[in-house]
Amino acid sequence: MELPHFIRHCRTGLYLVLGLGMAGSSIAGDRIASRDFATRSEVFAPHAMAATSHPLTTQIALDVMKRGGSAMDAAIAANAALGLMEPTGNGVGGDLFAIVWDPKTKKLYGYNGSGRSPKNLSLQWFIDHGYKDVPSYGPLPVTVPGAVDAWFALHDRFGKLPMQQNLAPAISYARNGHPVAETISYYWNLSVPRLSKFPGFTEQFTINGHAPRKGEIWRNSNLANTLEKISREGRNGFYKGSTAKTIADYIQAQGGFLSVDDLADHHGEWVQPISTNYRGVDVWELPPNGQGLAALQMLNILEAYDFSKIPFGSAEHVHLFTEAKKLAFADRAALYADPEFSKTPVEKLLSKDYAAERRKLINPDRAMQAIDAGVALNQGDTIYMTVADKDGMMVSLIQSNYRGMGSGMAPPGLGFILQDRGEQFVLKAGHPNSFAPGKRPFHTIIPAFITKNGKPWISFGLMGGAMQPQGHVQIVMNLIDFHMNLQEAGDAPRIQHDGSTEPAGQNTAMADGGMLNLESGFSYPVIQALMRKGHKIEFADGPYGGYQAIMQDPETGVYAGASESRKDGQAAGY
């Protein structure tokens, strides 16, 4: 086996750190399982399974189901605990989306738990005050947090245990403490210098001014009090009363606009999941304002290529994937938005005929440098988790504060940070995703699901901003085209393309082809071949997302679980 190569491409000035050997070759041929990329085996269990980004929350989910709770009870319990244990990715100050397989009705249900912008803030205010983009931090990007509302809506339909029981583990850990995991400590440490200037952050999210170190005990009694209030009073314990007043008063004192009325008026909504068929399986996402549609568009474009003759990790594989991404993301930037303000042509974008039209733009020998949307309209961090129970319910859930620890706005005495999703608006009149009062921004967090012959097969997700649809497509391709198992599909080296036109900020169009990041494991001859096609390639340290998945055997009902090897998490069952 060769040593890693460290190569400087003099003409472009780009630095590459390349992995070992040829991707797709047997780099783990000395293992009994002979799985090239798997870091460990899949986990199997006959009754229930949980896969989360923290081992303690996985155990919480299993404990809830052992006490008679449903997969939804377990998911809520685990998500509440993750807000404490992984505040670098989520919390009650953020939004939540979910796809649920209900074994009673044998149907998938979708929930959009994203919050809206303040009603007293306008696009004209930003323009009058000289803003080109919504700021990344502080009070102005704060939108109403939708997670707590989503918990109660999902629990009303699919829960079995009282919410007091579901929130009890998170409350206990918040009061008594838990040792902080290594990856979480790393990202927490990155956030502290950036967010410590905001009132309430240092007091509530550091230990004597520093981020908790790995293994250090972390307690958050303020969050315990907030969760206790929610468990006693329900969703009104968050969106009304003293908690809502504290949030609104704090934001307005910092120069923001979020009000008690904005919080009181919040409601998420049940939505119909959308799907496409990819080589005999149905892949499901949620419709806009999220970006799940981009994954389905990419799959439709890629379906025409015969990957039984295109090896994993080859230049042809990476090139076709990247070009399909560019095409889908051009539509994503121009068309995806809150459907209450702008109607995304979902049916058109999902059609196989439309994919065939767009596919004609792909040159097998040359990378696209610029691309327009195919249809005209008339006018960082997150957690992903999945849980499955003994009755066959499967929950695919994603939750986020955005940008890791969110806006930095930590209302006094509440123990959580508010999200900064408003950064995803465009400050440009007439754009589908332009800022408006009471509007949901374009959203990056997306859960996913796969059914086979009308039966549940895989609940999965892969967090990480614009990486998410790209990651979803790679997982599906790894499973279907490259015949990997559930764990290997997540461990295989990943592709990330950056630089497409974005549906946020200044909405600047891609003009230079963007930048391609390849995780360690792609060979230098492949890198060279991609450069010859016009791709610009750059080393990037860790933007490849976080994956969890549960698969159900349709014959035996046995669950298989997989967890992201790049994170601190765990898949486990009983």
Closest CA to 376 of 350, 344, 351, 337: 344
Structure tokens at 147: 């997670």
Query: What one-character-per-residue DSSP string does 415-444 give?
Result: ------GGGGSB-STT-TTB--TT-PPPB-
Q: Is 52 a catalytic residue?
A: no
Q: Which residues contact 204 (CB under 8 A, 6 or more apart)?
A: 220, 222, 410, 415
- Three-state SS at 388: strand
Choose, from 88, 226, 382, 501, the residue flagged as catalytic.
382
Residue 335 to residue 454: CA distance in whole angstroms: 30
Q: Which residues contact 86 (CB under 8 A, 6 or more apart)?
A: 53, 54, 181, 184, 383
With beta carbons less than 8 A apart as the criterion, state whether 397 and 71 touch: no
Residue 523 to residue 24: CA distance in whole angstroms: 10
- Name the phi and psi angles at 471, rounded to 5: -65, -40
With beta carbons less than 8 A apart as the criterion, state whether 561 and 50 touch: yes
- Three-state SS at 523: coil
With beta carbons less than 8 A apart as the criterion, state whether 222 and 204 touch: yes
CA angle 540, 293, 282 (to 5 degrees): 105
With beta carbons less than 8 A apart as the criterion, state whether 226 and 414 touch: yes
Residues paired with 517 in a beta bridge = 496
DSSP 22: -
CA angle 20, 33, 496 (to 5 degrees): 40
Sign (positive or negative) of CA dihedral 392, 153, 116, 147: negative
Q: Which residues contact 367 (CB under 8 A, 6 or more apart)?
A: 319, 322, 323, 513, 530, 533, 534, 535
With beta carbons less than 8 A apart as the criterion, state whether 103 and 392 touch: yes
Residue 570 to residue 56: CA distance in whole angstroms: 9
Would you tell me how many other CB atoms lie within 10 Å of the CB of residue 92? 29
Residues paired with 95 in a beta bridge = 400
Sign (positive or negative) of CA dihedral 403, 90, 185, 141: positive
Query: What one-character-per-residue DSSP string does 157-187 give?
Result: HH--S-HHHHHHHHHHHHHH-EEPPHHHHHH
Residue 15 to residue 450: CA distance in whole angstroms: 38
Q: Which residues contact 18 (CB under 8 A, 6 or more apart)?
A: 4, 5, 6, 7, 520, 522, 523, 524, 527
DSSP 42: P
Closest CA to 85 of 52, 121, 39, 51: 52
Annotated catalytic residues are: 382
